Amino acid sequence: MTLNSTGALSIFGVKLIGATPENGRRLLLTMAFVVVVLLAGRVLKWSVWRLNRGIKDRRPAFWSRQAVNIGIAVLLVLGVLSIWFDDPTRLTTALGLVTAGLAFALQRVVTAIAGYVIILRGDTFNLGDRIVMSGVRGDVIALSFMQTTILEMGEPASVTSASSPSSSTWIHSRQYTGRIVTVSNAKVFDEPVYNYTRDFPYLWEEMLIPIRYGSDLEIAEKILLAAAVKHTGPIVQLGANEAAELQRRYQLPTAGVEPRVYIRLTTSWLEITVRFLTRTHGVRELKSAISRDILKEFEAAGIRIATNTYEIIGSPVIRMDGQDGHSYGHRTPMPPAD
């Protein structure tokens, strides 16, 4: 291994392309620069953590970390380019080759990074928001250049079967399953992202209860409305201001936040639906409390919930052959229908 007159490194007389003392110094300088920048990034992240440690709202810490990550990435790119490409002509050529190579070999990676930019720039969602992204429902707990990390939650069986028939979640409510799911940021270009909390941290929920025809409809309606008002009163007061701001910002029609009861006729029973406002979190507890009050008041008022029933109007004749060769027939008498 020797150095020729031009300073190039050669082995057994074979010249190694690019192996020069200058490139070696640049390589060492690049390694030292990367190490220093990464250490500085760790110190900055630790400082951000210390400053936001006592704050309950995690969003300032989240956005501070994102700013540190972006700053480190930009500094690394500019520093490495400055070390290796001091000639503008060489830099332009190198950038063209690198861009072409990345566009071909790292399409999904580039798309994921672009999705990261869209998420931040478009305010698609934030840390702690409850979203549905690529069929995954849950709360955002982390966001990186490539992936979004979601703490998964379940959904009612009817919603799950309609939106994702192959879903394997076993929690039939909006509560955590315990699974942490990572989704590529590139999915923002392929599928819609549903945000439960960004501009309006409330949901309109409905509870459908079938009752028998002949029941006291007026009393049943009052029971449902009273139960909804009892448990959603504070929520309605807070949600009214949010709904007004949402209406003003997006020029939406008036959306009532007070509980309401709707009635629908069917061939089997009378459907009574109570519609009410709820927070994004705690839906299951709220519906459970409302259901307990409704059942208690229905029992006191003598109102029965309707179910699928079948009326048998006859039975087949049962024939038995006796030892004497005679046949005996018997039909089971049926009780009168209600």
The C-alpha atoms of residue 89 and residue 85 are separated, in whole angstroms, by: 9
Q: What angle do CA 121, 122, 126 make, to 5 degrees?
A: 90
Region for residue 181 given its phi and psi (left: phi exceeds 0; alpha: psi -120 to 50; beta: otherwise): beta
pLDDT digits (tens, 9 = 90+) for 204-214: 999 999 999 99
Please report whether residue 51 resides in a domain: yes
pLDDT score at 140? 94
Count CB neighbours of 295 within 10 A. 14
Q: Quick one: 145 and 184 in the same domain?
A: yes
> 207-233 burial by CB neighbour count: b if 16+ within 10 A, else e?
bebbbeeebeeeebeebbbebbeebbe
Please report whether residue 111 resides in a domain: no
Q: Whole domain around residue 244: which residue ranges?
A: 202-301
Number of structural domains found in the chain: 3
The set of residues, in sequence order, having a beta carbon less than 8 Å from that of 205 and lying 6+ positions away, is 275, 276, 277, 278, 283, 286, 287
HEC assignment per residue over 147-166: EEEEEEECCCHHHHHHHCCC
pLDDT digits (tens, 9 = 90+) for 122-170: 789 988 899 999 989 999 999 988 999 999 998 776 665 555 544 567 7
The set of residues, in sequence order, having a beta carbon less than 8 Å from that of 57 and lying 6+ positions away, is none
Q: Quick one: 139 and 191 in the same domain?
A: yes
Asked if 297 and 284 touch (Cβ cutoff 8 Å), the reply is no
pLDDT score at 92? 66
Percentage of the chain exceeding pLDDT 70:
72
The C-alpha atoms of residue 49 and residue 263 are separated, in whole angstroms, by: 53
Q: Quick one: 214 and 272 in the same domain?
A: yes
Please report whether residue 107 resides in a domain: no
The set of residues, in sequence order, having a beta carbon less than 8 Å from that of 4 and lying 6+ positions away, is 10, 15
Please report whether residue 135 resides in a domain: yes
Please report whether residue 44 resides in a domain: yes
pLDDT digits (tens, 9 = 90+) for 101-129: 666 667 788 889 899 999 988 789 988 89
Asked if 48 and 64 touch (Cβ cutoff 8 Å), the reply is yes
Q: Quick one: 68 and 145 in the same domain?
A: no
Element (H, E) at 112: helix 107-121
The C-alpha atoms of residue 70 and residue 76 are separated, in whole angstroms, by: 10
pLDDT digits (tens, 9 = 90+) for 287-334: 999 999 999 999 999 999 988 765 556 656 566 665 665 555 555 555
Cα Dmax for the chain: 126
Six-digit token string for 131: 């979203």
